[in-house]
Structure 1
Amino acid sequence: MNKLDTSVQYIKGVGPKKVNLLKKLEIETIRDLIYYFPKGYEDRRELKKITELNEGEKSSIKVVISGLPSIYRARRGLTIIKIQVKDESGMAYLVWFNQDYVTKDLKIGETIKVNGKVKKSGNIIEIHSPIYVKNIQSNDKIGRVLPVYPLTEKLKNNEMIKFMTNALNEYLYLVEESIPEYISERLKLFTIRDSLRNVHFPKNRELYIKSRSTLAFEELLTLQLGLLLMRNDYDKSKECIKFEESKEIYEFIESLPFDLTNAQKRTFKEISDDMESDKQMNRLVQGDVGSGKTILAVLSMFKACKSGYQAVMMAPTEILARQHYDSIQGLLENYNIKCELLISNISNKNKKDIIEKVKSGDIDILIGTHALIEDYVEFKNLGLAITDEQHRFGVKQRAKLSSKGRNPDILVMTATPIPRTLALIMYGDLDISIIDELPPGRKKIKTYVRNESSKDKVYEFVRKQVLEGRQAYIVCPLVEESDSLDIQSAVELYENLKNNEFRDIKVGLLHGKMKGKEKDYIMNEFKLGEIDVLVSTTVIEVGVNVPNSNIMIIENAERFGLAQLHQLRGRVGRGEYQSYCILINKSNSRVSKERMSIMEKTNDGFLISEKDLEIRGPGEFFGIRQHGIPELKIARLPGDIKILKMAQEICFEILKEDPKLELEKNKSIRNKISRIFNKEGLIIFN
């Protein structure tokens, strides 16, 4: 075993207690520690004069001790020590709390360097809880840039600095140079070892920037190559299904009560070409809310079933799974294709019956939730596996679903628009189709931003629409009142509206803590028009289709990402009526106003997702970990988009020459990919 992969406890200064604290930060090995990067830096290089100090800043000064220590017993358990210091510009006091040892350590006339937080009161200047260096030649704590690490309770930054210093001094030489030498030389990159030292303890800005860029490139190159190798592995799989061209499918398309858009036709051709090839299809269909992805799933399943295979479709919620089942069964019932629904909210007897029929081949299409990937679900002849709302599932879940057959074709769908370059990170193992056109006749959803003081007018507008026969959603961020956030909960808002503003119209409540049967009942009542106003949490974000609902009100809109607001807005605008989205914004911040303005100006999901990334950074929207993909530790998107593009170009160049990374010159990056992806349970090299 490489010493880097041994326990962090072998680092000098790390004892059993600190090991447990480091584990909370997901630092278990020496390698984990070395690749645990600072969240920021404190520049202690500049030595100020006392008269240059500013209130509230952390500053460094070089001073002479000019007075004896004063000790104040403020109360039991609190001792305050003050020592007068001076330089050529003026006088100040160093102040410590419960650190009596400094009275014996510091002597009048000594010259020291000090760093601490400045407090001013009139003409009196104090530096609180300062660290100091007695030997003015020392460059340990003052006079350089120090890293600031993300910490956990009871772990101090000074301790992390000590651990990191010892780890780098003793083990850095073991870190592999994973970027192939011919690539590194061409791009004039630093070595990985130099880059790691410079990122943890930068000597200047130029060294830091180049070192960080090198490490970000290494990380993105490793991730991209790994994902592309996964895709290439699919492409090279043996005994893949080659589906037949079906004339019946064109009759089926002609019988649909609507015409396919050009974007849908183009995407279905890409799917058909994949299915009719002798390679395994691994395709992502990415389309904005309401662009018509579901019908493409239906056409694909139709094609699979008419070729003698079974198909499976996995959705993230029972509500969405049931909705898919109802619409798909209705479309296919006249074509001798048997569909069934498998969710946790059915009786054991029905579940057992469905499982037996799937295994025997009596069911052609199985639609369901995570229950589909349980070991007891077996197919007779699975040819196509579809996951809907892919951002809710990980690579491993997708792989488990596809393992139900012998190299079935894979189709994944998402209504979360992601810029193509970034999609290569999240879905680098997939070919990508984009539906960039909405069905004709769709009216643009009118979006308005309102503050808390306008809510009475908003509710009056809802009442007027309901009396005209329409329905409305009101979405809240939380189910129950939070002590830490000033957010009105769905439960409280429901009670308030039911008993006051909407006491004479029917109000319903839907949230994630309800049981499946309750949720299905409430959603069905809303679909049937038995509920006029549905107060809900984001459980309705995904896929629910109620054409008569034309108003979406989102409480505390500033708490949501733009991509999520866009998803929620897409729940309306599905019928013949003009639809409205009203965002209740409680924040006065510039960023919040900018974000809300974007929602008012555009309905383009791809533009919105790009703006979301620019303003908020990756955040939850780009939660790589949830996809089962190795986590980004230093690269930041979209900030590192140029580095990402460069890494992608190099990836394609490497794989064109060496598709399996078998050449000696690519051995280092192959080893890195193997270690990183194996850790996530994604085996690339057998």
Structure 2
Amino acid sequence: MGLSRQGVTPRDLRLTLAAMQELLQPISDALAVSRRLLEPLARLKLLRVIDLLNHFPRGYSQRASVKDLKAGMHASIVARVISASNKATKKRRLKLTEALLDDGSGLIKAVFFNQPWLVSRLVPDTVLRLSGLVDYNYGEWSIKPAHWEFADKSELTSSQAAPLIAEYPLVEGIGNDDLTGLVALALPRFAPLVPDLLPDELSRRLRLMPQAEAYAQAHAPADSKRLQAALLSLKYREFFLLQVGLRLRRRSEAADETLMISVDDDLRQRARRYFPFEMTGAQKRVCREIETDLTHAGRMHRLLQGDVGSGKTAVALYASLLMVGSGFQCAWLAPTEVLARQHLASLTRYLAGTRVKIGLLLGGMPKAARSGLLGELEAGRLHIVIGTHALLEDDVKFARLGLCVIDEQHKFGVNQRAQIRRKGPRPHLLAMSATPIPRTLSMTLYGGLDVSILDELPPGRMPVRTEWVHRSREQAAYEKIRREIAAGGRAYFIYPLVNESENVEARSAIEFAERLKNEHFPEFRVGLVHGQMSGEQKEEVMARFRAGEIEILAATVVVEVGVDVPEANVMVIENAERFGLAQLHQLRGRVGRGQRQSFLYLFGDPRTEDAIKRLNALCATNDGFKIAEEDLKMRGFGDFAGTRQSGVPKLHAGDFEKDLDALIQARKDAALFGAAISEEKTRDCLELHFGREFRLMDV
């Protein structure tokens, strides 16, 4: 099924511009807004009419009388205060305020936490409107208000209340009634003006509620059935707009041949001869995908995911060599000095004896060394530069930047990732992550990127054996570790703290480095590395550990990424219950990088169910993607590693986690129908709904 291409007539364009002007005008110009609401509206970022329309309720409550309540329901009630008092609790920091209320059909107790000052305001005969979860215990009803405000006494006997009451996100100074009133004024006048990108044919096929009606029902639902239809319509339209926008951006770049290179057998063989090993099948497949990107018009936007030790660095170097061999420069951006220095060591080892020049740019470099490096870079004599945030400085200039490699990309803010790409003609992007993104989320977090997965480890690598060790069995674990070190291995001991803390019950690196040296392993040499040391100090200790001058390294999580010591085959994580699942898996990746069997010992006595689940999950598998899926289940989408920095625009109606089916459908439909939608209308809709946030989505 297809659509005819929709042209934009001058009349259409005039209508669109007029609608845009109306929707983008300040709320204070469009509506009669009380002056006291202007500052709270600004804090809610509700400045324009379209902002108000897209400020959807965070939930809905059902208007009910006390006599009709059911335990567990989310209800809205209007009731009169009988009495109010503060109550002491066994917890010193917890104070309760209880108000006994009467709505004419029965009594209910409202419970407020840590707001003792409310007693002076909840005077008898005051009328409140409350919404929240209700419960029934010991013969009485109670409600813990998620939202409440003072109401007029006339509401006690009113029969005109809506069956479903919208509850908006609020800040101090503005009430739910205030927002409800403003939205009610805006809906009939402005909702019909919001441009609808969805083709009529597709809307009919999916049986979606018309957009203007969906806005009205989402803000003031007539009933639950129409509310659900309205929300589905708005969520799908939002996802469809995002996906069409991403496709439009790719089309706009598709004809740009500025960075297109030619890869023949000679260049391919020259690039591959620097690797002293046979690439895995997964590495070869991803290298072919990258070649395809680089040899076609447009720009590469690729996310390379791979578990620790899967060979991402080799793939990124192969891509860099193709670009260098074609006359371009490459920038490698790393989040820490440790990782940047590790990349320098790896690339120097691979490219020893070649004419490829590599440089390292870090913060705090001597002025003369920094100036010399920047001069070489601007003149084009430096082919690959590796650096931390120092690469983002204004005086860092390239002669011909063609490729940006961003490692552990989720550790950079979206603006930082955009900043490095502005140093060239929108160079190719290869983002790398050793924190696997669950397959179900790749399209949501990185909808603007193609995703490549290294799902194969180099031959000879053995899975790390992971064991959770209770405190009572630590001594037995020490003996196993002693035997491994005596046989030529090396060991990491990871601690959650640098120094001992009175407020946190956990072991510290500095304190236990001394105990390892003097009590547990006096026969071995012990080093210490943590985040409060300078870059040079950390590198000196790490160099000694790599060289075997130190057998045991006590450290904090500064070794989480960028440390490659094949001889290290033992890791102990102290107070393992204090670490997240993804971080524990990242730390585990520091061992198992050589030919020896490796071991991870998780020391700790977790006291919560979630902590126990994390440790059991880590012991059950070495598969990073399974770990990522389990981490997602435990933490949810909003808190998943990297999502806050991903650059994904803030959604108004949809939810990437809860509405995944709608997103997948919208993506499929955008591929079928998107090309038939005018670019002008698409750009207007994107600017109207997402603004600058969409422009940053693919970096």
TM-score (norm 1): 0.81
**Structure 2 counterpart of 1:597:** 616
**Structure 2 counterpart of 1:258:** 277
Alignment of 1:653-668 (within 5 A): 653-658=672-677, 661-662=678-679, 667=681
> 8 Å contact 2:79–2:156 — kept in the other structure?
no
Where 2:303 maps in the other structure, the secondary structure is strand
Where 1:294 maps in the other structure, the secondary structure is helix
1:178 paired to 2:196: yes
> 8 Å contact 1:38–1:147 — kept in the other structure?
yes
- Residue among 670, 677, 681 paired with 2:683: 670
Q: CA 1:252/1:35 → structure 2, altered by over 3 Å: closer, same or farther?
A: closer
> 8 Å contact 2:330–2:403 — kept in the other structure?
yes
| TM superposition shift of 1:399 | 4.0
State the alpha-carbon separation in 1 of the partners of residues 409 and 100 from structure 2.
62
| TM superposition shift of 1:336 | 1.6
Compare 362-371 and 91-100 and name the one that shifted more.
Answer: 91-100
- Residue among 340, 345, 351 paired with 2:370: 351
> 8 Å contact 1:526–1:534 — kept in the other structure?
yes
Structure 2 counterpart of 1:168, which letter? Answer: V
Aligned length: 656
| TM superposition shift of 1:169 | 0.9
- Residue among 666, 679, 682 paired with 2:695: 682
**Structure 2 counterpart of 1:391:** 410
State the alpha-carbon separation in 1 of the partners of residues 169 and 79 from structure 2.
31
% same residue: 35
**Structure 2 counterpart of 1:109:** none
Structure 2 counterpart of 1:271, which letter? Answer: I
1:138 paired to 2:158: yes
**Structure 2 counterpart of 1:629:** 648
Alignment of 1:503-522 (within 5 A): 505-522=524-541
| TM superposition shift of 1:646 | 0.5
Structure 1 counterpart of 2:679, which letter? Answer: E
Alignment of 1:60-75 (within 5 A): none
State the alpha-carbon separation in 1 of the partners of residues 61 and 384 from structure 2.
59
Compare 414-423 and 474-483 and name the one that shifted more.
Answer: 474-483
1:163 paired to 2:178: yes
State the alpha-carbon separation in 1 of the partners of residues 664 and 84 from structure 2.
61
1:229 paired to 2:242: no
Alignment of 1:8-157 (within 5 A): 15=35, 20=39, 26-29=45-48, 31-45=50-64, 47-48=66-67, 97-99=119-121, 101-103=123-125, 135-138=155-158, 144-147=163-166, 155=172
Q: CA offsets per residue over residues 380-415 of structure 1, 9 Å max, x none?
A: 233333222222235544443333334543323222
**Structure 2 counterpart of 1:217:** 236
> 8 Å contact 1:47–1:60 — kept in the other structure?
no
> 8 Å contact 1:245–1:276 — kept in the other structure?
no
State the alpha-carbon separation in 2 of the partners of residues 63 and 310 from structure 1.
70
State the alpha-carbon separation in 1 of the partners of residues 666 and 167 from structure 2.
28
Where 1:313 maps in the other structure, the secondary structure is strand
> 8 Å contact 1:14–1:163 — kept in the other structure?
no
State the alpha-carbon separation in 2 of the partners of residues 459 and 391 from structure 1.
36
Q: CA 1:503/1:405 → structure 2, altered by over 3 Å: closer, same or farther?
A: same
State the alpha-carbon separation in 2 of the partners of residues 73 and 409 from structure 1.
62
Where 1:228 maps in the other structure, the secondary structure is helix
| TM superposition shift of 1:372 | 2.0
Q: CA offsets per residue over residues 498-545 of structure 1, 9 Å max, x none?
A: 665556654444444443333333333333334444344433222321
1:369 paired to 2:407: no
1:529 paired to 2:544: no
Where 2:352 maps in the other structure, the secondary structure is helix
Structure 2 counterpart of 1:525, which letter? Answer: R
Q: CA 1:532/1:87 → structure 2, altered by over 3 Å: closer, same or farther?
A: same
1:269 paired to 2:282: no
**Structure 1 counterpart of 2:3:** none
State the alpha-carbon separation in 1 of the partners of residues 606 and 541 from structure 2.
32
**Structure 2 counterpart of 1:336:** 355
Q: CA offsets per residue over residues 29-64 of structure 1, 9 Å max, x none?
A: 554454344544544435337xx897x998778999
State the alpha-carbon separation in 2 of the partners of residues 347 and 94 from structure 1.
64
- Residue among 431, 442, 446 paired with 2:465: 446
1:429 paired to 2:442: no
TM-score (norm 2): 0.80
State the alpha-carbon separation in 1 of the partners of residues 361 and 651 from structure 2.
36
**Structure 1 stretches lacking a partner, 5+ long:** 107-111
Q: CA 1:349/1:116 → structure 2, altered by over 3 Å: closer, same or farther?
A: closer
> 8 Å contact 2:261–2:326 — kept in the other structure?
no
Q: CA 1:492/1:645 → structure 2, altered by over 3 Å: closer, same or farther?
A: farther
Q: CA 1:488/1:25 → structure 2, altered by over 3 Å: closer, same or farther?
A: farther
Q: RMSD value over aligned CA atoms?
A: 4.3
Where 1:97 maps in the other structure, the secondary structure is helix
| TM superposition shift of 1:354 | 0.7
**Structure 2 counterpart of 1:568:** 587
Q: CA offsets per residue over residues 452-490 of structure 1, 9 Å max, x none?
A: 555555455444544444333344455567888755555
| TM superposition shift of 1:573 | 0.8
State the alpha-carbon separation in 1 of the partners of residues 73 and 494 from structure 2.
42
1:189 paired to 2:199: no
**Structure 2 counterpart of 1:284:** 303
| TM superposition shift of 1:291 | 0.9
Q: CA 1:40/1:437 → structure 2, altered by over 3 Å: closer, same or farther?
A: same
**Structure 2 counterpart of 1:302:** 321
Where 2:436 maps in the other structure, the secondary structure is coil
> 8 Å contact 1:286–1:433 — kept in the other structure?
yes
State the alpha-carbon separation in 2 of the partners of residues 602 and 489 from structure 1.
28
Structure 1 counterpart of 2:687, which letter? Answer: S
Structure 1 counterpart of 2:693, which letter? Answer: E
State the alpha-carbon separation in 1 of the partners of residues 162 and 645 from structure 2.
41
> 8 Å contact 1:37–1:200 — kept in the other structure?
yes
Q: CA offsets per residue over residues 288-340 of structure 1, 9 Å max, x none?
A: 22111111122222222223332222222211111111111221132221111
> 8 Å contact 1:510–1:534 — kept in the other structure?
yes
> 8 Å contact 1:85–1:91 — kept in the other structure?
yes
State the alpha-carbon separation in 2 of the partners of residues 216 and 484 from structure 1.
45
> 8 Å contact 1:552–1:582 — kept in the other structure?
yes
| TM superposition shift of 1:71 | 9.4
State the alpha-carbon separation in 2 of the partners of residues 126 and 570 from structure 1.
50
Alignment of 1:432-581 (within 5 A): 432-451=451-470, 454-455=473-474, 457-459=476-478, 461-477=480-496, 490=509, 501=520, 505-581=524-600
State the alpha-carbon separation in 1 of the partners of residues 83 and 416 from structure 2.
65
Where 2:335 maps in the other structure, the secondary structure is coil
Q: CA 1:254/1:356 → structure 2, altered by over 3 Å: closer, same or farther?
A: closer
State the alpha-carbon separation in 2 of the partners of residues 197 and 455 from structure 1.
63
**Structure 2 stretches lacking a partner, 5+ long:** 1-19, 89-94, 112-117
| TM superposition shift of 1:593 | 3.6
1:410 paired to 2:415: no
